Structure 1
Amino acid sequence: MPSMKDRLGLKELSSTGYAKLLKALLAEFIGTMFLCFFGCASTISWGEGHGGSIVQIALAFGLAGAGVIQAIGHVSGGHINPAVTFAMMFTSNVTIVRGFFYVIVQCLGAIAGSGVLRALTPEDVGGKLGATLLETRLTAVQALGMEFLLGFILLLVVFGVCDEYRGLEKNAPIAIGFAILVGHLAAVPFTGSSMNPARSFGSAVYWLGPILGGIAAGLIYKHVFAMTAPSHGHKEETEYRPVRAEEKEVNMS
């Protein structure tokens, strides 16, 4: 277990660490911006017969997530989602300092993506630009449960493909993209399938659900499912980490 000092990560603010952190923050900002821009653009209704179908929305978010993670995963880990960042913090895979700034720039990136989409969309075009809304017949508890499960499956996939002893890291963007796609296919009629608190400001459902589900999945994977290092003689097994270094964790949306 890392010490509290290491978990806090103040060294990332030092003269030798801040350059890497700034680069990672820029990657998270740009990645979240494009995820929200392309994903939310797919929801716009251009008229009868030209609205965003569930399949179209799911494909847009899933493929955008996979593409962004492939592009910036080696720089920041490609979290582009506060639920991923919180799960990584709770399992000691990113420092608290890094996680704090990640969540801020992810939210700013989501705002920027929505702002650009609004600026490029004609005023008379229908739709809510991807805003997530609860189905009117759902209770708050039902909606929270749905978002919890969406966050859980997303982070279960993230930790599974980032387990260094499985050797699946190259497939991580595709697997995570499919997790996002499936979540949207299943849950758009329920809650709009947020899966990403940065995308959905406001309601506690969209923050607590994915974050709590993600943390639960991360803790379960780390302490129950994680692979261990191959034994060589009497050498002790290495403690599981889904990433080898601060810049190696890969995620989504």
Structure 2
Amino acid sequence: MEGKEEDVKLGANKFSERQPIGTSAQTDKDYKEPPPAPLYEPGELTSWSFYRAGIAEFMATFLFLYITILTVMGVSRSPSKCNTVGIQGIAWAFGGMIFALVYCTAGISGGHINPAVTFGLFLARKLSLTRALFYIIMQCLGAICGAGVVKGFEGSTYVQKLGGANFVASGYTKGSGLGAEIVGTFVLVYTVFSATDAKRNARDSHVPILAPLPIGFAVFLVHLATIPITGTGINPARSLGAAIIYNRQHAWDDHWIFWVGPFIGAALAAIYHQIIIRAIPFKARA
């Protein structure tokens, strides 16, 4: 989730914006926007920092699945709701781990830990197609390994307790599940764009912000809302890792929802932030 310097003079932002009267934001702070990332950057493939970033994404997603799926297993194994952290605890586990892992890896890989986030940032031309594909592969591998370690701890109980896999809950339609994933991912990726917006960092420095905190809270709140519907995916790598290790038909029947929904939500968030909020066209004017 990369914070980069950007130019408010680009596109529709060529006119200055008013700041709230009576605040310390009554100053103009110059910053430059880097050119859009190329689709293919050959130099990346020979750079250690490229592979280092991929390893960071793998490890972060591995730890994410390990902690969160273990939390789900703990709730499922408990004979009484009074003896477990419940849905709120699961939501805190997901949100808290995102907060911690984004904080740890933001300076190395950008701290995506989610193919939908990577896809949204790619659409906004924040990273190359080469890097985006590499990140997504490493995220999926990390998620599979993380879920696999949990199954190793839990044994047969892992399958009996549904393995933390995502599927549309009884009483909801596939359309409802898809809608929940689209809106939930929109909330997450929109928060990512807002929390890492260099324009905001440059001109609103009177409002201190730690980017991983609102991102973690967004994940927490979305889980509170949608765990009863889909178990909350909003992260295709998380859904894929759990589905592969759990490997039961009903998880695969709904699995497309946890790729299509997050990618649509991420695309909508990228468009909304770039064109509506930032008023920056995807294609820079000549």
TM-score, normalised to structure 1, is 0.83
CA shift, 1:10, in A, is: 2.5
**2:71 matches 1:37:** no
The letter of the residue matching 1:116 is V
The partner residue of 1:134 within 168, 174, 177 is: 168
Deviation, 1:40, is 1.1
Tell me, yes or no, if structure 1 residue 48 matches structure 2 residue 82.
no
Mapped to 1, the partners of 2:198 and 2:127 lie a distance apart of: 16
Question: Aligned residues: percent identity?
Answer: 32
Aligned to 2:258: 206
Cα drift, residue 128 of structure 1: 2.2
Q: Are positions 1:19 and 2:11 aligned together? A: no
Could you list the runs of 5+ residues in structure 2 that have no partner in the other structure?
A: 1-33, 202-206, 241-251
After superposition, the Cα gap between the structure-2 partners of 1:46 and 1:19, relative to the gap in structure 1 and judged at 3 Å, is: same
What is the rounded CA distance, in whole Å, between the counterparts of 1:136 and 1:9 in structure 2?
A: 46
Aligned length in residues = 226
Compute the TM-score of the two structures, normalised by the length of structure 2.
0.74
| Match of residue 152, structure 1, among 137, 161, 186 | 186
Task: Report what 1:195 is aligned to.
Answer: 234
Return the index of the structure with the highest Cα Rg: 2
In the alignment, is residue 165 of structure 1 matched against residue 199 of structure 2? yes
What pairs up with 1:38-187 in 2 under 5 angstroms?
A: 38-44=67-73, 45-49=76-80, 50=83, 53-124=86-157, 127-167=161-201, 170-187=209-226
> 273, 283, 286: which one pairs with 1:221?
273
Residue of structure 2 in register with 1:250 after alignment:
none
3-state SS of 1:104 partner: helix
Whole-Å separation in 1 of the counterparts to 2:234 and 2:128: 22
1:131-150 Cα deviation digits (max 9, x unpaired): 11211222211111110001
Could you say if the C-alpha distance between residues 133 and 51 of structure 1 is closer, same or farther in structure 2, counting changes exceeding 3 Å?
farther
Contact 1:163-1:226 at 8 Å conserved across structures: no
Partner SS, residue 210 of structure 2:
helix
Separation of aligned partners in 2, 1:131 and 1:101: 24
Contact (CA 8 Å) 1:25, 1:102: kept in 2 or not? yes
Tell which deviates more after alignment, 66-75 or 39-48: 39-48
Cα distance change, pair 240–60 in 1 and its aligned pair in 2 (3 A): farther
Q: CA deviation at 1:84?
A: 0.3
How far apart, CA to CA, are the structure 2 residues paired with 1:46 and 1:204? 28
SS, match of residue 150 in structure 2: helix
CA distance in 1, matches of 2:126, 2:52: 18
Query: How far apart, CA to CA, are the structure 2 residues paired with 1:90 and 1:163?
Result: 15
Contact 2:119 2:132 in 1 (8 A): yes
Cα separation, 1, equivalents of 2:71 and 2:215: 19
Q: Over the residues paired in the alignment, what is the CA RMSD in angstroms?
A: 2.2
> Could you say what secondary structure the match of 1:7 adopts?
coil
Alpha-carbon separation, structure 1, partners of 2:140 and 2:105: 17
Aligned partner (choices 39, 42, 46) of residue 7 of structure 1: 39
CA contact (8 A) 2:115 2:135 kept: yes
Moved more, 42-51 or 29-38: 42-51
5+ residue gaps, structure 1: 228-238, 242-253
Per-residue CA distance 1:55-90 (angstroms, 9 max, x = gap): 010000000110000001100000000000111111
- Paired with 2:157 and 2:182, the residues of 1 have a C-alpha distance of 35
Matching residue's letter, 2:169: E
CA distance, structure 2, for counterparts of residue 220 and residue 169 of structure 1: 24
